[in-house]
Structure 1
Amino acid sequence: MPTLVLKLAPLQNPERYRQLAGALTDLTVDLLGKRRGVTAVVIDDLPAARWHIGGAPAEQPTALLEISITQGTNTQEEKAAFIQAAFAELQRQLRGGAGAARQRLGPWRAHAALAPAGGAAGVTAGPRRIRPWRRESAAPPGG
């Protein structure tokens, strides 16, 4: 299950959170080939006064995006395309489209945490790839 954690400052409104979550989900599906129904986006916003860069509060919109995906499920090129597109989308939404070229998004970082075998329902991806089990069963294979 791909999990994206977006931390941003300054605070946004609920409609912006929906737009960001929808766009990041679309990019995860389109560029990384992940399933929409299991893609989770968590948005954690901070007041600008709580985000410091070089010891000073952030003065412009700032974001940190972390995505956890299972190791070996995407190429370096796919991950690079995702990071580039995610940055462009954050730039567009947080800095406002037309002015984005002149007013860059503040310090931004994307990190792909690669789990060797992510899991769901208490079973890692490894056994599911080897021997799929039915959700109705009481226990996963070998369990």
Structure 2
Amino acid sequence: MPIINVKISQPASAALTHAISETLLELTTRILRKKRELTAITLTCVPPSQWVVGGSTLAAQGKNSFYFDIKVVDGTNTKDEKAQYIAECFAAFGKLLAPLHEESYIYVQDVRAEAYGFGGLTQEYRYIKAKP
């Protein structure tokens, strides 16, 4: 884990999906110390004509945007790590989706270990079972 849900204001393409997923995998592994093999990413493409910022579509503004949220277990990352992650992800998406609208968002969501898991097991359960 974690799971990352991404929305971008670009048409779907295999090349862009690959670039976004590799970027997020690298940053999530390096900065947040999450396991690459357990990280899941979903990508949704929204037409710029259907993405509105400040009352005007991105198509009319000639810009692109993104939003993504990542769910991590509460207490596993520091404020500094999350701030670095947000800054580096924003910069990376700025290169991938230029010209990027400043109103693009990243949400690092801290979730309780007993309320979050995969494979039918909570992270709390995994933590307890790993103790000798």
- TM-score if structure 2 supplies the norm length? 0.88
Aligned equivalent of 1:29: 29
Measure, in 1, the Cα distance between the counterparts of 2:119 and 2:39. Answer: 15
The runs of 5 or more residues in structure 2 that have no matched partner are none
Aligned equivalent of 1:15: 15
The alpha-carbon deviation at position 12 of structure 1 amounts to 4.3
- TM-score if structure 1 supplies the norm length? 0.82
The runs of 5 or more residues in structure 1 that have no matched partner are 96-102, 134-143
Aligned equivalent of 1:99: none
> CA deviation digits over 1:18-55, x for unaligned, max 9?
11111101100000000000101111111111111122
Q: Does 1:74 align with 2:85?
A: no
Aligned equivalent of 1:48: 48
The alpha-carbon deviation at position 131 of structure 1 amounts to 1.4
Measure, in 2, the Cα distance between the counterparts of 1:20 and 1:10. Answer: 12
Counterpart mapping for 1:1-143 below 5 A:
1-58=1-58, 59=61, 60-95=63-98, 103=99, 105-106=100-101, 107-117=103-113, 118-132=116-130
- The structure with more helix, counted as a fraction of residues: 2
Measure, in 2, the Cα distance between the counterparts of 1:31 and 1:22. Answer: 14
The alpha-carbon deviation at position 11 of structure 1 amounts to 1.7
Residue type matched to 1:114 in 2? Answer: D
Measure, in 2, the Cα distance between the counterparts of 1:8 and 1:29. Answer: 21
